[in-house]
């Protein structure tokens, strides 16, 4: 039975790690990331939970390789207290992940009594053994040293003078299966949100914001455009940027948190600088004319980069965010969206 459990746990570990990887991928390539980045508390909670769930999967895998006969008494106690705490933290991490993603938390006591029992036994043994306050009744517990084992343990509840047996290996297996199923549900919810997000925006093409781009660019050398008396050239640029910022904010919550923000701000900075420098704007001499032309060319280079990125994004929405799978679990950048 133990060998079968070990094989099951190794399989579950790989399945859990794969699901965490898939969840991370979904977070890194949809608007969900931008929503997370808007709230540092949720962002930190989300990735703390993901990494903790990953760490605990490794903890359980290692625990199964340890044998009673190779450990001293103190090491056994340390391992048992540690594994009980890991079971408890795993349940908390799952709820914190759900909470950070704005999904409903799990009520272990009402919905999953078998999982809640594991939680309660942790509280009995590794939480408050010297002063357990449960149902307004205070009592103490202690582990039975003669029965101490990495596989099963026995402890006494002083109030009832009752010994309780706890199968550690079976409980790990039960909880790992539960965690896997819950992570699968989270992943499926994220995929469904992604599909809904794609369907909502895939026909709203970002490249259409640049319909005036070629016309505005062709007027760089025109004396009537981009001068002090010009009432059209810079307005065309402003129109492109305002349309783009509006679409990005609707799609990703905040255009300033997308990777397009840098180029948008550079275009705005060059435009505002030109408008503020009348000598350059009016080409009062050859040097100023040279500076003006180069600034405008630089401005349109950034606009062209924005246009190319928007075409790429439109294609990604059209293709459903298909991407090449990796085996790594990358850290999500703090304030930017990673488009595929």
Residue 324 lies in a domain: no
Question: Is 217 found in the same domain as 174?
Answer: no
118-157: pLDDT as tens digits: 999 999 999 999 988 877 778 899 899 999 999 999 999 8
- pLDDT by residue (tens digit) across 188-234? 999 999 999 999 999 999 999 999 999 999 999 887 899 888 879 99
Q: Given the structure tokens 């990703």, which residue do they identify?
A: 252
Residues 149 and 262 in one domain: no
Does residue 330 lie within any of the structural domains? no
Q: CA of 131: how far to CAs of 143, 158, 214, in Å?
A: 14, 10, 76
Question: What pLDDT is recorded for position 325?
Answer: 47
- With a cut of 50, say whether residue 306 has pLDDT above it: yes
pLDDT at res. 311: 96
Q: Which residues pair with 133 in a beta bridge?
A: 138
Where in the sequence is the domain holding 122, given as residue range(s)? 2-195
Phi, psi of 338 (to 5 degrees): -100, 100
**pLDDT 10s digits, 153-181:** 999 987 777 899 999 999 999 999 999 99
Which of 195, 228, 250 is the C-terminal boundary of a domain? 195
Check whether residue 150 and residue 61 sit in a common domain: yes
pLDDT in tens, 58-86: 999 999 899 998 999 999 999 999 999 99
Residue 337 lies in a domain: no
For residue 335, tell me if it sits in a domain. Answer: no
41: enclosing H helix or E strand:
helix 40-63
60 assigned to some structural domain = yes
- Phi, then psi, of 191 in degrees rounded to 5: -65, -45
Contact 45, 96 (CB under 8 A): yes
Please, which pLDDT band fits residue 39 given cuts at 50, 70 and 90?
confident
Closest CA to 275 of 216, 218, 225, 228: 228
Let me know whether 25 and 165 are in one domain.
yes
Please report whether residue 333 resides in a domain.
no
Is 66 within the bounds of a domain?
yes
In eight-state DSSP terms, residue 219 is T
On whether both 291 and 190 belong to a single domain, the answer is no
Judge if 137 and 221 occupy the same domain. Answer: no
**Whether 110 and 183 share a structural domain:** yes
Where a domain ends, among 195, 216, 237? 195
Per-residue pLDDT for 302 more than 50?
A: yes
SS3 167: strand
Average pLDDT over residues 307-330: 76
What is residue 30's predicted lDDT score, i.e. its pLDDT? Answer: 64
- Are residue 188 and residue 280 in the same domain, yes or no? no
Higher pLDDT, 308 or 227: 308
The model carries a pTM of: 0.81
Specify the DSSP element, H or E, that contains 140: none
Same domain, 158 and 225: no
Q: What average pLDDT does the segment 251-271 reach?
A: 93
Confidence band for 291, pLDDT divided at 50, 70 and 90: very high
User: Has residue 7 got a pLDDT over 70?
Assistant: no
Residue 248 reports pLDDT greater than 90: yes
Give residue 37's pLDDT.
Answer: 79
Q: What's the pLDDT at 309?
A: 95
Is 323 part of a structural domain of the chain? Answer: no
> Number of folded domains in the chain?
2
Q: Are residues 314 and 235 in the same domain?
A: yes
End position of a domain, from candidates 195, 227, 258:
195
Residue range 242-255: mean pLDDT, rounded: 93
Whether the predicted pLDDT of 332 surpasses 80: no
């Amino acid at each position: 039975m133990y060998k079968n459990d070990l094989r099951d746990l190794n399989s579950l570990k790989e399945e859990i790690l794969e699901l965490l990887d898939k969840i991370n991928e979904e977070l890194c390539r949809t608007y969900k990331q931008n929503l997370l980045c808007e709230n540092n508390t949720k962002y930190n909670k989300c990735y703390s939970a993901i990494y903790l769930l990953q760490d605990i999967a490794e903890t359980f895998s290692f625990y199964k390789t340890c044998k009673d006969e190779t450990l001293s008494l103190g090491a056994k106690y340390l391992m048992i207290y540690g594994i009980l705490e890991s079971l408890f933290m795993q349940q908390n991490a799952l709820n914190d992940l759900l909470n950070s993603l704005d999904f409903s938390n799990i009520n272990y006591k009402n919905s999953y009594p078998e999982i809640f029992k594991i939680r309660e036994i942790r509280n009995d043994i590794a939480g408050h053994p010297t002063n357990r306050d449960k149902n307004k009744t205070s009592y103490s517990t202690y582990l039975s040293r003669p029965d101490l084992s990495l596989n099963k343990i026995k402890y006494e509840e002083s109030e009832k003078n009752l010994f309780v047996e706890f199968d550690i290996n079976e409980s790990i297996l039960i909880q790992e299966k539960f965690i896997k199923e819950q992570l699968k549900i989270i992943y499926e919810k994220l995929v469904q949100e992604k599909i809904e997000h794609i369907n909502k925006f895939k026909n709203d093409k970002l490249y259409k914001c640049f319909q005036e781009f070629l016309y505005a660019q062709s007027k760089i050398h025109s004396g009537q455009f981009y001068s002090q008396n010009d009432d059209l050239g810079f307005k065309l640029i402003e129109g492109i940027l305002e349309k783009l910022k509006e679409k990005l904010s609707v799609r990703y919550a905040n255009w300033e948190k997308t990777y397009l923000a840098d180029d948008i701000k550079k275009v705005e900075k060059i435009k505002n600088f030109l408008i503020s420098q009348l000598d350059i704007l009016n080409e009062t001499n050859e040097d100023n004319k040279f500076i003006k032309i180069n600034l405008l060319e630089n401005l349109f280079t950034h606009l062209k980069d924005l246009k190319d990125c928007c075409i790429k994004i439109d294609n990604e929405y059209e293709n459903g965010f298909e991407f090449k799978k990796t085996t790594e679990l990358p850290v999500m950048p703090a304030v930017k969206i990673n488009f595929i």
